[in-house]
């Protein structure tokens, strides 16, 4: 006889107690005496790690046509007090369509382990994140089915870069029968739009503007080993001073590239606001007064390009070619092995290979050479940070 196995039930919420990720005077502990949900490295340590991520791996995060990084969170983003995962302009969760709880019965309704359902911000800026539990409880018959059919797809990992402040639904959902589904769940903003305030169009544009207008710290000209001679490190410390988000992959990469645009005298051929040109506020109004969404979120792809995703994954057709939702197969074996935290299973299996792209339109920028101590290192494409 097979032994029954019971897992954590899947639709309770984290954050019921209203715990803030870092709600404490002690930066090393959470509001209830536990560790924080975000990394606590020093800025110098964080920037050293992020530089290694960006420049020392098999693939650089900087290219002629895009700045890019993996969807997976960095080490230290966790669930000690609440689920703060999804920090890289890419939130992720699972959608499960499990087999019947009892053999021969009806299939249960789909569930969404790990999905952020709401974020509330207090008067002093603390964020209270509520999520569906990342775990799921399985009955004996469900376990038996997935043991017998371990390669059967019973769910999807969802990676979404749909900016949290882009409210219009995807065009494919404008007709009653056109809305795509993931394991039976319609792709609507209520379920598939990002929720964390930092994952917003407005926040991304502000980051570029602040880093272009900021004043970086320069290295000691007499010390060739000064880490501030590194373009990436200099930009990373700038974002630390501006936002305190040097521990992310995304913010230091964007800030380093934006900083180099200023250092190298880059601008638009016909003038204008560079941050708005790269990340236009939405919706955009054309010359005839028609409004449209031209950047639903930063597109998702793989390290080989926007037209590739990891094996077992696919783009969801949204009707606007935004490429902002990628789904990846969860098999019965995946669910059995990761049932206590399907969100972790998703990022461990796919998160490092689903890649966020910030497009740099070819020909959009012209660089005439800047001033300052690093102007002589400017290349034709100074946003492609190499050191």
Q: What is the pLDDT of residues 320-331, one digit of tens each?
A: 999 999 999 999
The answer to whether 73 and 247 are in contact (CB under 8 A) is no
Least Cα distance to 141 among 92, 181, 104 occurs for: 104
Lookup: tokens for 358: 């910030």
Element (H, E) at 328: strand 325-331
Task: Identify the DSSP state of 227.
Answer: G
Q: What is the pLDDT of residues 160-181, one digit of tens each?
A: 999 999 999 999 998 767 899 9
Task: Identify the DSSP state of 349.
Answer: I
Distances from the Cα of 379 to the Cα of 29, 64, 181, 264, 337, angstroms? 44, 11, 45, 8, 48
The pLDDT, as a whole number, for residue 30 is 36
Question: What is d(CA 264, CA 274) in angstroms, rounded to the nearest whole number?
Answer: 14
Residues of the chain with pLDDT below 50 are 1-34
The pLDDT, as a whole number, for residue 272 is 82
The pLDDT, as a whole number, for residue 8 is 31
- For the chain, give the mean pLDDT: 89
Q: Where are the alpha helices (DSSP H) in 174-310?
A: 189-192, 201-213, 231-242, 250-263, 274-278
Angle, helices 201-213 vs 231-242, to 10°: value is 120
């Amino acid at each position: 006889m097979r032994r029954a196995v019971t897992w954590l039930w899947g639709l309770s919420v984290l954050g019921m107690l209203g715990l803030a990720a870092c709600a404490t005077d002690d930066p090393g502990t959470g509001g209830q005496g536990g560790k924080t949900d975000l990394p606590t490295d020093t800025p110098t340590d964080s920037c050293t790690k992020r530089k290694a991520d960006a420049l020392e791996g098999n693939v650089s995060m900087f290219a002629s046509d895009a700045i890019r990084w993996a969807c997976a969170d960095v080490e230290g983003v966790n669930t000690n007090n609440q689920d703060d995962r999804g920090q890289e302009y890419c939130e992720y969760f699972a959608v499960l369509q499990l087999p019947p709880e009892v053999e021969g019965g009806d299939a249960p309704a789909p569930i969404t382990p790990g999905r952020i359902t709401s974020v509330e911000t207090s008067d002093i800026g603390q964020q209270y994140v509520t999520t569906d539990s990342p775990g799921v409880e399985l009955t004996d018959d469900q376990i038996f089915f997935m043991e017998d059919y371990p390669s059967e797809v019973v769910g999807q990992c969802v990676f979404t870069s749909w900016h949290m402040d882009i409210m219009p639904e995807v065009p494919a959902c404008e007709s009653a029968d056109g809305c795509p589904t993931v394991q039976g769940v319609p792709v609507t903003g209520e379920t598939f739009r990002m929720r964390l305030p930092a994952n917003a169009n407005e926040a991304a544009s502000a980051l570029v503007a602040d880093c272009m207008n900021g004043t970086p710290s320069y290295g000691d000209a007499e010390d060739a080993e000064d880490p501030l001679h590194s373009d990436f490190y200099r930009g990373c410390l700038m974002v630390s001073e501006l936002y305190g988000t040097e521990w992310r992959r995304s913010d230091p990469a964007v800030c380093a590239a934006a900083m180099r645009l200023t250092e190298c005298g880059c601008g638009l051929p016909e003038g204008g606001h560079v941050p708005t040109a790269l990340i236009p506020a939405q919706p955009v109004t054309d010359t005839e007064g028609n409004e449209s969404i031209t950047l639903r979120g930063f597109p998702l792809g793989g390290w080989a390009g926007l037209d590739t995703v990891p094996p077992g994954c696919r783009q969801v057709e949204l009707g606007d070619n935004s490429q902002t939702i990628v789904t990846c197969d969860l098999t019965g074996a995946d669910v059995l092995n990761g049932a206590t935290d399907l969100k972790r299973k998703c990022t461990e299996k796919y998160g490092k290979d689903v890649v966020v792209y910030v497009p740099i339109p070819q020909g959009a920028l012209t660089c005439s050479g800047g001033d300052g101590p690093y102007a002589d290192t400017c290349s034709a494409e100074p946003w492609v940070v190499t050191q």
